[in-house]
Amino acid sequence: MPSLIAATRSWVRRHARRILAGPVAVVAVGLIAFGFFAGFGATSSATQPIVSFNSQVLAKGQYLFDEHCSACHGVGGVGSSRAPTLVPVGAAAADFYLITGRMPLNNHGDQAQAHTPYFDASQIEALVSYVADLPRIHGETKLGPGIPSILPLCSKAQKRGPTGDQVAYPGSDPNCVTLSYGQATYALDCAQCHQIAGAGGILANGMIVPSLTQAPPLVVAEAMRVGPQPMPRFGTGQLDQKQLSAVVHYVQYLHHPEDRGGLTVGGFGPVGEGFVGILGGLGLLLVVSRFIGTRA
């Protein structure tokens, strides 16, 4: 027995490099690629569009609008029999409809649904800026809602006060919002259509209520301020900035609630899990096949 163990040890020592080199390389390359995509996903969902009234940006926006939007929304966005006016809608509406790929619509009778955006980020910024500038072009003073900003989530270190409110420790953000506040607001204002877990569904008139389990923070914030038909619009009078932010964080929490189980790889969800699973499995398989191969 001891001699067998000793023989195995020396065999492993002699062959270790050859057995491990391949799998280690596969896993390393895979992890680098995964890190790249994970990082990429994180930064691209975090960027806020910049509404710019720079003349070059506006000219690009007008060009794209004339090309892709004016056939339905009219020249200068004044509306037509095919689509509503865009003069009063504001930057939030333009951004929401473009980043969720709802616009441009193919057929003006269809329900605008989310899919891959048609335009790239700089084209979206130009179009959003142009739509935000429409009131000025038409001499109107009333502006539509701008891109909403989102208050931070309170860290768990912050404790509750006697009224159930979050008490911020010195040095932490006094404007932070809590998940429980978001949950309460969501239950009251959103759950009747989107379901308590955000799964979505179908309305009595056959319109689709989308699932929220993929919606990024900005899309959730903008949806509330815009109210894509038939969803009601929640202005600052219905939901103030704290309520809006709390709902945004609560919906992000619904993406992977802590009690759902499973392994979250860097908070990246099932895609990350599957990817690491495949890589780990592939690596192991290679080790085993090398081992068997060299033994024979």
* Binding-site member from 89, 147, 176, 177 for ligand HEC (CB under 6 A): 89
Region from 13-21, 163-171, 213-221, 271-279 binding ligand HEC, contact rule CB under 6 A: 213-221
- The answer to whether 179 and 254 are in contact (CB under 8 A) is no
Interface with ligand HEC, residue 231, by CB under 6 A: yes
73 scored as a contact of ligand HEC (CB under 6 A): yes
Q: Within 10 Å of residue 92's Cβ, how many Cβ atoms?
A: 25
Binder among 12, 50, 207, 284 for ligand HEC (CB under 6 A): 207
Distances from the Cα of 44 to the Cα of 100, 121, 292, angstroms: 14, 9, 44
Residue 68 as a binder of ligand HEC (CB under 6 A): the answer is yes
Chain centroid offset of residue 25 CA? 32
Nearest to 122 by CA among 73, 52, 40: 52
Does position 215 bind ligand HEC by CB under 6 A?
A: yes
- Angstrom distance (rounded) from CA 241 to CA 230: 22
Contact status: 137 vs ligand HEC (CB under 6 A):
no
> Which of residues 22 and 101 has its CB atom nearest to ligand HEC in the complex?
101
Stretch that binds ligand HEC, among 48-56, 84-92, 150-158, 273-281 (CB under 6 A): 84-92
Q: CA–CA separation, 200 vs 66, rounded Å?
A: 35
CA torsion 34→98→210→250, rounded to 10°?
60
Q: Which one of 19, 57, 72, 286 is in contact with ligand HEC (CB under 6 A)?
A: 72
Residue 148 sits in the site that holds ligand HEC (CB under 6 A) = no
Among 97, 132, 178, 183, binds ligand HEC (CB under 6 A): 97
Residues recorded for the chain: 296
Binding test (CB under 6 A) with ligand HEC, winner from 189, 213, 242, 268: 189
| Cβ nearer to ligand HEC, comparing 73 with 279 | 73
Which residues 237-256 are close enough to bind ligand HEC by CB under 6 A? 247, 251
Quote the least distance from Cβ 210 to ligand HEC, whole Å: 4
Residue 132 near residue 90, CB atoms below 8 Å = yes
Owner of token pair 């989107």:
194
d(CA 63, CA 126): 9
Task: Retrieve residue 118's tokens.
Answer: 């048609």
Alpha carbon 180 to chain centroid, angstroms? 21
The one among 19, 91, 176, 212 contacting ligand HEC by CB under 6 A: 212
Minimum CB distance to ligand HEC, residue 244 (Å): 8
Q: Which two tokens stand for residue 125?
A: 């910024």
Cβ neighbors of 9 (< 8 A, separation 6 or more) are none
Q: Contact 224/234 with Cβ under 8 angstroms?
A: yes
The answer to the question of residue 282 lying near ligand HEC (CB under 6 A) is no
Among 228, 246, 252, 275, indicate the residue that binds ligand HEC (CB under 6 A).
Answer: 228
Q: Which residues bind ligand HEC (CB under 6 A)?
A: 68-69, 71-73, 82-84, 86, 89, 93-94, 97-98, 100, 103-105, 108, 111-114, 127, 189-190, 192-194, 207, 209-210, 212, 215, 219-220, 223-224, 226, 228-232, 234, 247, 251
